[in-house]
């Protein structure tokens, strides 16, 4: 860490953290700052958002197989994939569904505009520098979809000086291979990082009873490329670009079969998809004067998928594209008052083999947020106005009151409003859509308590309530309808503590997510979750363990199909042979627990998608010094 950056974190207000051209890149390597909350570097404790941050050091210590492995450690976040590694995950932040939370890569929305899914399972963890998770609405800053929260992923960044190559090889269960290499470097003005990865696995059989054709292993292949480049012309002007491209092949089971319109029968399939998920952004970051900093960012993202069937000539294409432009201005009015003023524009487009009545729409917005930082209290008040091509104007408000009880305790009260526009599938998918849908809206209330218990222990806790109106569900006619309202009450806590040389991170969440009309629990939301990570460094040896417990839930909105709870134990370790070579070993689901996070129907029965049992991985990382 730069010494002057560490000093700035402890002495300066959030809006003054960007003292020179490269401190934003350096901040991505620090655990005690957050960028996503207001699109600017600020100390985590100064942010009004309940947040969790994983740096590259955390990723290497925890050895997660994927981004979703990291997310399952966050209190208030639940992950429900459809059967093991590489399968489509449902992401539930504070009881909201995947389409109600925003996922960004280097500031760019990567969610699929047809389904609302973010395809996080297709992002390679070796190309990621940092993951930030904001729990709770951030619609003033980001607009639509940030109802439950925001997940932002930052790609790998370059070093400050010199060249640093890296190479990683891994082999594990189910013929899993991991290969990645990269090169980063820089000087006083220019920094870069270039990385490439290739992951392959024979996979597992994701379904139980089904067609004979489904009794195969569902393999996946993922190749990834990342590039970041930044150049500072002087201390007040920086330009840069970020690129992440993931593409590959994924096999899966379709236990429902393929409907034959000629025979009206369901026929077996062996489906697979060729996919590509990519994002690109370029920016100009400049300080106009001592009080005014401005950032202009242009971006493009794609979700492309072609699905095939080994048993037929069926071919389908679902491609979505998004262009975006963001302009944000951070203005320091005086020692206590600051403003964020900006505008957003983005346009979604579809190219699909399935005909949609509409295949594009745009959204433009303006927002302003004021922050006051006093000695006895602080406030944050913001408003945003979105103009959607289809749904017209929508306003979003938020306000936070912060009371510093003493130097070690802060209490925060927050109110926020948010909305979600229906996806193209909701509105236009043939025979299973409703073009008359209205946007979902939400109001959220939150009480946070942040306590620095000691020099080595910190507790963060939240009580919250979210009221959803015009929630979109599928009715009895298999078409989406604005008929539901939902109430989500919840409590979550995160405790970080060092004890007897062991670093522990405990996350606990208790939620009550209910359909207010029927009283039923919302589908695939467990009421209680717990995650515990224990790690210790013994000179060159590192040891760690993870314990995760999830209570029972329901797979359907009528609460007829129960999903059992489960607990998982994982162990990990690493050994630094020298300064350049490190050996890594982990075992996930050590007790070989069988469990399911989602169900499917077949011939009148209910079956669970199979999650991966005991799995191990051995790896070696080489970072030669040049």
- Arithmetic mean of pLDDT, 44-54: 95
Measured CA to CA, the distance from residue 149 to residue 363 in angstroms comes to 20
pLDDT higher than 90, residue 473: no
pLDDT higher than 90, residue 153: yes
Average pLDDT of the chain to the nearest whole number: 91
Which of the pair, 20 or 285, is modelled with greater confidence? 285
- Residue 425's pLDDT is 93
Sign of CA dihedral 202, 244, 247, 357: positive
Measured CA to CA, the distance from residue 560 to residue 523 in angstroms comes to 10
Q: What DSSP string runs through 367-428? A: EEEEEEE-SS-EEEEEEEEEEETTTEEEEEEEEEEEEEEETTEEEEEEEEEEEEPPPHHHHH
Which of the pair, 272 or 159, is modelled with greater confidence? 272
Which of the pair, 412 or 603, is modelled with greater confidence? 412
> Distances from the Cα of 427 to the Cαs of 191, 354, 556, 564, in angstroms?
44, 13, 22, 34
Residue % of the chain over a pLDDT of 90: 75
CB atoms within 10 A of CB 1: 10
Burial label for 393, CB within 10 Å (0-12, 13-18, 19+), is exposed
Res. 366 pLDDT band, cuts 50 70 90:
very high
* Among the ranges given (386-390, 455-459, 476-480, 507-511), the one the predictor scored with the smallest mean pLDDT: 476-480
Contact indicator for 170, 197 with CB cutoff of 8 Å: no
- Residue 520's pLDDT is 92
pLDDT higher than 50, residue 16: no
pLDDT higher than 90, residue 605: no
CATH superfamily of 3-622: TonB-dependent receptor, beta-barrel domain (2.40.170.20)
pLDDT higher than 90, residue 426: yes
Query: Reduced to 3 states, what is the DSSP secondary structure of residue 117?
Result: coil
Residue % of the chain over a pLDDT of 70: 94
- Read off the tokens for 274: 């060729």
> Quick one: CA torsion of 311, 312, 315, 316, rounded to 10 degrees?
-70
**What is the pTM (predicted TM-score) of this model?**
0.94
- Arithmetic mean of pLDDT, 434-455: 94
- In sequence order, which residues have a C-beta less than 8 Å from that of residue 307 and are 6 or more positions away? 271, 272, 273, 314, 315, 316, 318
Which segment, 266-270, 552-556, 603-607, is predicted with the most confidence on average? 552-556
pLDDT digits (tens, 9 = 90+) for 491-542: 999 999 998 899 999 999 999 999 988 899 999 999 999 999 999 999 999 9
DSSP 8-state class, residue 154: E
- Arithmetic mean of pLDDT, 344-356: 94
* Among the ranges given (149-153, 224-228, 309-313, 416-420), the one the predictor scored with the smallest mean pLDDT: 309-313
Q: What DSSP string runs through 59-116? A: HHHH--SSHHHHHTTSTTEEEEESSSTTSPEEEEETTB-GGGSEEEETTEE---TTT-
pLDDT digits (tens, 9 = 90+) for 553-579: 999 888 999 999 999 999 999 999 999
- Residue 467's pLDDT is 96
- In sequence order, which residues have a C-beta less than 8 Å from that of residue 136 and are 6 or more positions away? 49, 50, 94, 148, 149, 414, 416, 444, 446, 462, 464
Nearest residue to 356 (alpha-carbon basis) of 325, 390, 323, 307? 390
Give the N- to C-terminal CA distance of the chain in Å, as an integer: 20
pLDDT higher than 50, residue 11: no
Measured CA to CA, the distance from residue 443 to residue 445 in angstroms comes to 7
- Residue 213's pLDDT is 65
Contact indicator for 522, 558 with CB cutoff of 8 Å: no
* SS3 labels along 568-606: EEEEEEEEECCCCEEEEEEEECCCCCCCCCCEEEECCEE
Domain limits of the chain? Answer: 3-622
Backbone phi and psi for residue 214, each to the nearest 5 degrees, phi listed first: -85, -5
* Among the ranges given (141-150, 210-219, 374-383, 497-506), the one the predictor scored with the smallest mean pLDDT: 210-219
- Residue 4's pLDDT is 41
Res. 253 pLDDT band, cuts 50 70 90:
confident
- Arithmetic mean of pLDDT, 358-367: 96
Measured CA to CA, the distance from residue 244 to residue 226 in angstroms comes to 4
- Residue 268's pLDDT is 78
pLDDT higher than 80, residue 382: yes
pLDDT higher than 50, residue 17: no
């Amino acid at each position: 860490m730069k010494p002057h950056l560490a000093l700035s974190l402890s002495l300066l207000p959030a809006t003054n953290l960007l003292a020179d051209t490269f401190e934003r890149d350096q901040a991505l390597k620090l655990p005690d700052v957050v960028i996503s909350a207001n699109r600017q570097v600020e100390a985590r404790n100064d942010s009004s958002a309940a947040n969790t941050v994983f740096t590259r050091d955390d990723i290497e210590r925890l050895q997660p197989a994927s981004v979703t492995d990291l997310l399952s450690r966050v209190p208030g976040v639940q992950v429900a994939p459809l059967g093991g590694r590489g399968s489509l995950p449902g992401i539930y932040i504070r009881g909201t569904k995947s389409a109600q939370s925003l996922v960004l890569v280097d500031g760019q929305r990567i969610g699929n505009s047809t389904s609302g899914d973010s395809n996080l399972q297709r992002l390679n963890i070796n190309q990621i520098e940092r993951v930030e998770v904001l729990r709770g609405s951030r619609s003033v800053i980001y607009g639509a979809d940030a109802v439950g929260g925001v997940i932002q992923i930052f790609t790998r960044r370059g070093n400050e000086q010199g060249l640093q190559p890296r190479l990683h090889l891994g082999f594990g269960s189910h013929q899993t291979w991991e290969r990645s290499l990269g090169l980063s470097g820089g000087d006083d003005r220019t920094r870069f990082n270039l990385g490439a990865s290739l992951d392959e696995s024979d996979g597992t059989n994701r379904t139980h009873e089904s067609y004979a054709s489904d009794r195969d292993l569902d393999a996946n292949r993922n190749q990834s490329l990342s590039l970041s480049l930044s150049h500072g012309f002087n201390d007040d002007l920086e330009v840069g670009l970020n690129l992440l491209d993931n593409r590959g092949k994924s096999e899966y089971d379709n236990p429902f079969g393929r409907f034959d319109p000629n025979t009206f029968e369901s026929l077996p399939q062996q489906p697979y998809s060729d996919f590509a998920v990519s994002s690109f952004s370029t920016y100009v970051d400049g300080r106009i004067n001592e009080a005014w900093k401005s950032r202009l960012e242009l971006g493009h993202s794609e979700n492309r998928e072609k699905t095939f069937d080994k048993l037929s000539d069926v071919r389908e294409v679902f491609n979505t594209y998004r262009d975006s432009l963001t302009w944000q201005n951070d203005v320091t009015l005086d020692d206590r008052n600051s403003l964020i003023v900006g505008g957003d524009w983005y346009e979604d487009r579809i190219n699909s083999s399935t005909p949609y009545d509409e295949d594009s729409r745009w959204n433009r917005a303006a927002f302003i947020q004021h922050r006051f930082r006093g000695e006895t209290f602080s406030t944050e008040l913001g408003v945003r106005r979105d103009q959607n091509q289809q749904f017209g104007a929508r306003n979003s408000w938020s306000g936070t009151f912060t009371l510093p009880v003493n130097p070690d305790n802060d209490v925060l009260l927050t109110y926020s409003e948010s909305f979600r526009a229906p996806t193209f599938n909701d509105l236009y998918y043939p025979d299973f859509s409703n073009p008359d849908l209205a946007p979902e809206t939400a109001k959220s209330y939150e009480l946070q308590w942040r306590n620095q218990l000691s020099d080595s222990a910190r507790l963060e806790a939240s009580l919250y309530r979210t009221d959803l109106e015009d929630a979109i569900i599928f009715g009895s006619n298999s078409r989406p309808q604005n008929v539901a309202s939902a109430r989500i009450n919840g409590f979550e806590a995160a405790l970080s503590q060092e004890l007897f040389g062991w670093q522990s991170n405990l996350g606990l969440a208790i939620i009550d997510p209910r359909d207010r009309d029927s009283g039923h629990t919302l589908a695939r939301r467990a009421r209680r979750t717990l995650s515990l990570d224990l790690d210790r460094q013994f000179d060159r040896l590192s040891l760690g363990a993870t314990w995760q417990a999830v209570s029972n839930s329901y797979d359907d909105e009528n609460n007829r199909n129960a999903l059992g709870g489960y607990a998982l134990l994982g162990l990990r370790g690493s050994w630094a042979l020298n300064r350049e070579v490190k050996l890594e070993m982990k075992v996930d689901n050590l007790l070989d627990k069988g469990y399911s996070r989602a169900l499917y129907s077949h011939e009148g029965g209910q079956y669970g998608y199979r999650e991966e049992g005991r799995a191990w991985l051995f790896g070696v990382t080489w970072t030669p010094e040049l």
